[in-house]
Structures are given as C-alpha cells and as structure tokens.
Copies of this chain bind each other. A is one copy, B any other.
C-alpha cells in the first residue's frame, strides 16, 4: 500500500461518506462510554492484557474502574503493536484530546480524568456520532428485548437468535421466551408460534435483520419435526430452518456469522474465551441458500481461509451477500486480501463492506478508520493504478460497500 497523493485523495473522499453501521452490540439506552473503563473494558483490551500476562484480579467487579484502567494500561506496552492498540490511540487522540504518540501506563490517570470530564457532557453521544459520521447503527437485540425507549431509526433493531437455536433446552431460555410471547414451547408447532410472535414484535418495532453466530461444524438442514427432547443438532437445525422461513415471510435479511467455537479457553476473561476451527466450509449452507432464494443471507466468516468460498458463493448465489470482517479476521493483514478478493469477484451491490461490532459508540470511528485506510489502499492499487476505475468511480464503489448496500439490502 503506497501512501501517495492518490491514496490520500481516495482516503479523503471515502472519509466523507456518512455511515450506517450494519452490526453492533450497542446498548441504545447507554450507547456511549461514561468512563475510560467502558473503553478499556472492551474484551479486546482485557484479553490482550491477560494474554500478555495480566491476572484476572483487576477485572473483578469490586475493583474500582480507575484501578482496572491502570492495570490494563500497565500491560499495554506488551501489546502496543496490535491493531487494537491503534484503535485506542485513535480514540485517545480524537475523543480525549491526547496528543502524545505512544500511550503509556503513566497516562492512565490523565486519560481517566479527561474521559470522565468529556463523557459527562450531556451531548456526548451526539458528539461521538457526529464526529464518527454515523447516521444510524444496527443493534443486536436478545429475542425478549422490549425494544422500547429509544429511537429505532437511529438504533435499528435486529433479532439475535443464538439462544433460540442453541439453548432452547435451557429452562431459563424457555422462561424468557414464555414471558416474551406468552407461549410455553414444547414441540415444533409451539416453537413456530412463539417465533412468529417474536418476528411480528421485532418487525413492528422496525427491525431490519435477524442475526445469529454459528459454530464451524453447524450444518443446517430442513427439519420439520422436532421437539425439546430431540438431539441438539436436530433441534438446532429445526429452529434455524424455522427462522429462515420467518425471514422469508417478514422479508428480513438473515445475518449468518459463521465459525465461532465458544469457551475454548475456559479460564479466559469475559468474552475472551472463544476461538475457531478453520476446517469449515460454506458448502454446509448450500441447501439453505438453495431453499430460500428470496432471503438475503449476509455472511460473515471468522476464518479468513474461507473468504474465497464466500467470494465465490456470493458470485454465484443471488441471495448470498458478503458481510464485513469479523473479530479475529478484523485486522488489516486479513482485511486487505479478503477485501481485494471481494472487490474483484463479487457484484458491488452485494457487499456489505464493514461493520464495527462495537459495544460503545467511540469504537465506530477507529474501526471504520482502519477499514477506510485499507479500502483506499485497495482501490488505489488494484483499481485506479491498474486503469480499471477513475478516482470518482472508485469512490462510488466505496459508497456502495460503505453505505448504499446497507440501505438497499436492509431496506433502511
């Protein structure tokens, strides 16, 4: 990637595009951070600090936020080579007035105080959204979320279905479902009734997607008869297939986030225990894609090794959409080749370029910044320099993957 004038021109133009972030974990009742602990409590920092030697003691709820921040920052010199450190530096500079070039443990108190002061401003949320050029962000709502008390055009609901597919055998999940729908589920028929109620509720509140994360060996197949006593794989397929049917009925895209194994490192920090097995394939989803031609499947893959499959499936199946760069694949070293392949092989109307996956609004800016730099580099090197696109048309391509496709695919 050459940082010349062409790159800068593209990067500058791309940075003007107003964003709709199609996948986040924002809490609409508390979207922005209130302290630096909200920033550094993000699992990326707790897990990197822990991986680099920090015990879990500072992460206990009883530890004062300022001390936790000090502990995480104390270990930062061991992981300040990472993309996640670069996000943090970007946040410190953009939002906290930091002007150093290397965040040090000694900065802990100054940063903590600055964050406390700035984030206490009543319009902090709006400031962050404006500076980040974020017009709207998608949420990831549990199925029993009431979806009340927030502006659903700014914070767009999305039905998360992991619990329904993989945990319906747990009494607590069934109780939540009963509370949300009034239905005590048992057989497939009752589950269908409950799911219909959930979809109707979410659709009425402006939901624009259904979403789920899936283990690498998941292989959905049509199952019509199942109940709570069925084996887990059968039940999971049964519920999953039913969700796809409802996506079709309610005209909702289905976000498939493929490939995560949960609780692999059992003593890891909160949200820092999951990993993946790269021995997976989109062939496991071929029947699904065939069965629901009218449902847009927005596919994220955790293992970059199946990015070529993703490109090829999106190239062939009209209903397969490439979606973002997820989690362990969300560093420039993987984004760059994955993105280049998608831009060269998949119709430009079928690519959701990026989502932040953030829990707090402040992360939208540095994450999209990372993506925009890679995008500008790929457009410069692979499209403009090769003569395939003019600068204007390269920016137009960027607008498709950053904004227009979110609007058209999710009907925003």
Residues of B within 8 A of A272 (CB): 316
Q: State whether A393 touches B308 (Cβ < 8 A).
A: no
Q: Bound state CA distance, A332 and B339, in angstroms?
A: 12
Q: How large is the interface on A (under 10, 10 to 19, 20 to 34, 35 or more residues)?
A: 35 or more
Q: Given A53-B318, A290-B265, A315-B51, does the pair A278, B308 have CB atoms closer than 8 Å?
A: yes
Q: Specify which of B1, B289, B303, B313 is in contact with A308 (CB 8 Å cutoff).
A: B303
Check A51/B317 contact, CB under 8 A, given A278-B308, A283-B277, A385-B1. yes
Q: Which residues of B contact A389 (CB under 8 A)?
A: 81
Is A13 in contact with chain B by the CB < 8 A criterion? no
> Is A388 engaged at the interface, CB distance under 8 Å to the other chain?
yes
A316 to chain B, nearest CB (A): 5
| A308–B273 CA distance with the chains assembled, in angstroms | 16
- The distance from the CB of A50 to the nearest CB of chain B, in whole angstroms, is 6
The number of times this chain is found in the oligomer is 3
Chain B residues near A306: list those with CB within 8 A.
Answer: 278
A349 at the interface (CB under 8 A from B): yes
Q: How far is the CA of A386 from the CA of B366 in the complex (A)?
A: 13
Within 8 Å of chain B (Cβ to Cβ): is A412?
no
29 interchain pairs, CB-CB under 8 A: A2-B2, A47-B315, A47-B316, A51-B314, A51-B317, A52-B318, A78-B348, A80-B348, A81-B389, A81-B397, A82-B345, A82-B346, A89-B388, A102-B393, A266-B290, A267-B293, A268-B316, A274-B316, A275-B309, A275-B312, A277-B309, A278-B309, A279-B280, A279-B281, A308-B334, A315-B328, A331-B345, A333-B337, A337-B337
